Structure 1
Amino acid sequence: MEIVKASLTLIPTRDVILPPVTSKVLKYLIMSGELFPFLRDLVSSRDKHKPLFISNLGVNGRRLVLMKPVHVSRGTALDAFISYPLRPDAITPVNGVFNTPYGEFQVTLNSFMVLDEFQPPQGNVVRVNFVSPVLLSSMIGLPPSLNPRFRGRGSNFTIPSPGLIIASAYKTHQGLTRRFDDVKSFKLAVLVNALSKVINFRMRPVTVSLGERGDKVRKTRGVKGWIEFELPPEFRGTMKYLMVGSYLGIGRSRGIGLGEISLEVKDLGASSKADLSGEQEPRS
């Protein structure tokens, strides 16, 4: 199945105060019918595996994911994207001024990109950039036979490793195909961790808001940064899962724009790189 990524620019017509979860602006425009109204049912669905990603707003590719409301000046160009399965009415022009509870915005559609997962890139080394904080569940590494026993304990979020990243991207891919296989995701987590080679990384913990519950802010700890690793030959086919993840995100809370990643793939020792996602996190 092909996936569309619609890249947008939002410019406030006056100074605005955005919520900590800035993806709410795009979500409001969809639910109000101003932007891609065919996505309303998908947005309102409670399916945690739904093939939809609404990014947080960003400035020059850096996402505004904060613990408190953020002030944005009039005329500031904010970038964002929405990814969803390709359909006949999926590509529609957008250009107008729309009012939201968070302010008035000039919204412009910049481009559509279509991902064909059956054309994986060539290369054995991948760098995964965490454009917004990622929340990868430690439960992925638990054998499915033990899941019922420990399910009541809830899920902790852990440091991204090659195996957890690939397995999380596989779960995103499952949401697209609607074919679920917990055994395979467990095997990917274990085997990719055991057989891949981490070349370099830079990661840091961050506190992120998950929204409000009553008068309290729900928060958790995620990870920002990047990791570069070499995939063994027998697992290079998993690159298609990462490609899907670069459009639809990975891990928990994708529904509010967390888990956004971008990819760079190269051959070990080669100087050229391919940025596959259309979004690139500045090196830090």
Structure 2
Amino acid sequence: MARPFFHTLLEGVGGFVVSVSVRFTALRDVVLPPFTGRVLKTLLHASPCMEALRGLYASRPTQRPVRLTALRLGWRRLYQTVDSAGRGPLRVRAGSTLRGVVSAIVRGDPFAVVGDAGGCSGRLPAPLDGLSFEVEEVKLETVEGLTAGVRAGEEFKLVIHTPLLLDTKLMTPPVLVDSSLVKVGQAYRLLPTPSYIAAAAVRLWLALARGERDLKAESWIPYAVGRLSDVLVAEVDYKLKPVTAIYGRAGDGGLRKARGPVGYVILKPLSDRLAPILDKTLALAQRLGLGKSRAIGFGEVEVQKPR
């Protein structure tokens, strides 16, 4: 008899997750991009010591194996919203210290990808030349050893630090994937239910930990885990706020915007078969982001123990 998919989903994985923590110092007052994940993207393209990570970032156009976070000023993630846009551009004062992380999943030699990043320092090019940078830490973890601390019968808190963009089509039944019924414009869930959270995390796991290229052929797996999650995961509490983030300008000069929730949701897995899947897939999402545009810093999530 074939083994159930929830046993085999976590098998056949390998490789490493590399996390490069970078400190930026403002040498003068600096105007930042509206979504500050683009500062790390500038670093990736401008610094020779980031060449290997830059190549990995460009290796596939979707489900990128590299994630760039929004910059943090203390605990606060820096990005501009429609509500804050009226106060002028996003600025930091001279002397401010900002931090961000470049994370990547590597199936080969992780040291070849990290390259010289461990001793990397310098100054960004214009118009961000008011920022100097220095790599503070390089962390290496095996994919097999990842854990988020999710256990059956125990509550966990999923904190959403930057807008989480979960496409409404994510939970499309597999038989309707090619149907004209779901060929509609893009929209995102403002209430992230267990099904959407789980399906997005499993989709990320298939693409990066398992290295599956044809996600359409595997679409039944995220859907099945999502459906089970709506039955076998209890929502205990939540505090969510929808925000509209600005992440650039369109070709016509208008603003590029994306709306998604930030805050937290407390969940409790009720099944000892489903909990290990959530544990592994959310651990990967914690390092590589969740949902659409996670590669530039949207969908930064963190699993915590509720207080």
Fold match (TM-score > 0.5): yes
The Cα of 1:154 is off from its aligned counterpart by 2.9
For 2:207 and 2:79, locate their aligned partners in 1 and report how far apart those are by CA, in whole Å. Answer: 25
Deviations 1:195-220 (A, max 9, x none): 11111111010001242112111112
1:168-226 CA distance string (max 9 Å, x none): 11112222122232101011111101111111111010001242112111112110001
Write the distance in 2 (CA, Å) between the matches of 1:75 and 1:34: 25
Q: Is the aligned partner of 1:103 residue 2:129?
A: yes
> 256, 261, 264: which one pairs with 1:226?
264
Comparing 201-210 with 92-101, which one deviates more in the overlay? Answer: 92-101
- Alignment of 1:85 onto 2:125: no
Deviations 1:74-114 (A, max 9, x none): 11011110101242233432233333422332212222223
**Contact kept in structure 1, 2:57 and 2:65, CA below 8 Å:** no
Q: How far apart, in 1, do the equivalents of 2:125 and 2:141 lie?
A: 31
Aligned counterparts, 1:90-239, within 5 A = 90-91=113-114, 92-93=117-118, 94-119=120-145, 120=147, 121=149, 123=151, 124-149=154-179, 150-158=181-189, 159-176=191-208, 177-179=210-212, 180=215, 181-214=218-251, 215-231=253-269, 232-238=271-277, 239=279
Q: Which amino acid aligns with 1:112?
A: V
Instruction: Using the TM superposition, give the Cα deviation of residue 230 of structure 1 relative to its aligned residue in structure 2, in angstroms.
Output: 0.8
Correspondence for 1:13: 27
The higher radius of gyration belongs to: 2
Using the TM superposition, give the Cα deviation of residue 233 of structure 1 relative to its aligned residue in structure 2, in angstroms: 1.4
SS at match of 1:96: strand
3-state secondary structure, aligned to 1:30: helix
Unaligned runs of 5+ in 2: 1-14
> Residue 29 of structure 1 contacts residue 35 of structure 1 at CA under 8 Å; is this kept in 2?
no
Structure-1 separation of matches of 2:228 and 2:192:
15
CA change 1:99–1:139 in 2 (3 A) is: same
Once superposed, what is the RMSD of the aligned Cα atoms? Answer: 1.9
1:279 counterpart residue number: none
Secondary structure, counterpart of 1:153 in structure 2:
coil
1: CA distance, partners of 2:150 / 2:235: 19
Identical positions, percent: 25
> 1:234 is paired with a residue of what secondary structure?
coil
Match of 1:21, SS state, is coil
Where does residue 258 of structure 1 map in the other structure?
Answer: 298
Structure 1 residue ranges without an equivalent (≥5): 272-284
Q: TM-score, normalised by structure 1?
A: 0.87
> In 2, Cα distance between the equivalents of 1:66 and 1:52?
23
How many angstroms apart in 2 are the aligned matches of 1:90 and 1:126?
A: 33
Q: Secondary structure at the match of 2:122?
A: strand
Please give the alpha-carbon distance, in whole angstroms, between the structure 1 residues aligned to 2:46 and 2:26. Answer: 18
1:220-265 CA distance string (max 9 Å, x none)? 2110001111112121111100000001101011132101111114
CA separation of 1:48/1:96 partners in 2, compared to 1, >3 Å: closer, same or farther? same
Moved runs in structure 1, 4+ residues, more than 4 A? none
Displacement of 1:160: 0.9
The TM-score, its normalising length taken from structure 2, stands at 0.81
Amino acid at match of 2:301: I
Q: For residues 121-157 of structure 1, give each alpha carbon's deviation from its aligned partner in whole angstroms, at most 9, with x where no partner exists.
A: 3633221111111011121221011121134203321
Work out the CA distance in 2 between the residues paired with 1:128 and 1:37.
Answer: 33
Counterpart amino acid of residue 100 in structure 2: A
- Output the amino acid matched with 2:290: I
Q: Distance in 2 between matches of 1:118 and 1:41?
A: 24
Residue by residue over 1:47-99, the C-alpha shift from the partner in whole angstroms, topping out at 9 and shown as x without a partner, is: 21121100111111321121343011011011110101242233432233333
Residue correspondence of structure 1 range 237-252 to structure 2 within 5 A = 237-238=276-277, 239-252=279-292
